A and B are shown apart, each in its own frame.
Chain A
Amino acid sequence: KAGVTQTPRYLIKTRGQQVTLSCSPISGHRSVSWYQQTPGQGLQFLFEYFSETQRNKGNFPGRFSGRQFSNSRSEMNVSTLELGDSALYLCASSRALGQDPTEAFFGQGTRLTVV
């Protein structure tokens, strides 16, 4: 069974540009969550999508957005990149039937560097 796949693994962008990251969840999983990991702030929740709808949102500016497609694949977009957006972005998928917490399976992440 394939795991959570994130593409690309590494990305270098310039300040002011925008970027789109992709996440393919485990087959059958309908919930996809995104996290930002930095040395200073640790792991912070960005948002969660379930059945193409955003169900939870963290405390990030509107430059961070996401979406989920009918096949449960998800993308997150960051516009007007800042140096502080340099981070490892992790995607996690889970079955998330109803509102019960289930095991979240994480991808290997996308390492974004903003220069």
Chain B
Amino acid sequence: AQSVTQLDSQVPVFEEAPVELRCNYSSSVSVYLFWYVQYPNQGLQLLLKYLSGSTLVKGINGFEAEFNKSQTSFHLRKPSVHISDTAEYFCAVSLNQGGKLIFGQGTELSVKP
């Protein structure tokens, strides 16, 4: 079975500081990896995805993530955060099964001025 672990439930940072949100996954087969963001009272928005190819993936809003197969990790990074980045971030995996996503528990990013 596949599982996703987000290592930090809450990450407080100051505005303009760099941030890394950590995600590890467990799977005996190849998976596809995603990061989603959820703002209060909203649905989920895709930040970026890794399907194949280059292990460094760039997404929207200045976020990027690096797929590390040997460490089964897919950490999300941003070099300089803004107040508007305050939200909950979810890492997810998908097998080659169409629409089923398995999510981590989420990381609450709080950006302080």
Q: Which residues of A contact B (CB under 8 A)?
A: 4, 31-33, 35, 42-45, 48, 50, 55-56, 58, 90, 92, 94, 96, 99-101, 103-109
Please provide the 4 A-B residue pairs with the shortest distance between their CB atoms, ordered closest to farther.
Answer: A106-B43, A43-B103, A33-B99, A106-B44
A42 to chain B, nearest CB (A): 5
**Does B45 lie at the interface of the complex (its beta carbon under 8 Å from any beta carbon of A)?**
yes
Identify A92's interface contact among B51, B97, B99, CB under 8 A.
Answer: B99
The minimal Cβ–Cβ distance linking A88 to chain B, given in whole angstroms, is 9
The answer to whether B99 touches A50, judged by C-beta atoms less than 8 angstroms apart, is: yes
In angstroms, Cα B32 to Cα A19, docked, is: 34
With A44-B103, A101-B97 already in contact, 10 other A-B pairs whose C-beta atoms are closer than 8 Å? A33-B101, A45-B100, A48-B100, A55-B99, A56-B99, A99-B96, A99-B98, A101-B99, A107-B43, A109-B42
**Shortest Cβ distance from residue B33 to the other chain A in the assembled complex, whole angstroms:** 10
**Interface residue tally on B, bucketed by range:** 20 to 34
Most chain-B CB neighbours within 10 Å: which of A58, A104, A105?
Answer: A104
- Residue among A56, A99, A108 making CB contact with B43, cutoff 8 Å: A108
Alpha-carbon separation in the docked complex, A36 to B112 (Å): 30
User: Is the pair A90, B43 in contact by a Cβ cutoff of 8 Å?
Assistant: yes
**B26 interface contact, C-beta 8 A:** no
Query: A101 touching B51 by the CB < 8 A rule?
Result: yes
| Cα distance, A58 to B100, chains bound together (Å) | 9
A104 to B102, alpha carbons, bound, how many Å?
Answer: 12
Does A101 lie within 8 Å of B106, measured CB to CB? no
With contacts A4-B43, A90-B44 taken as known, whether A104 is within 8 angstroms of B99 at the C-beta atoms is: yes
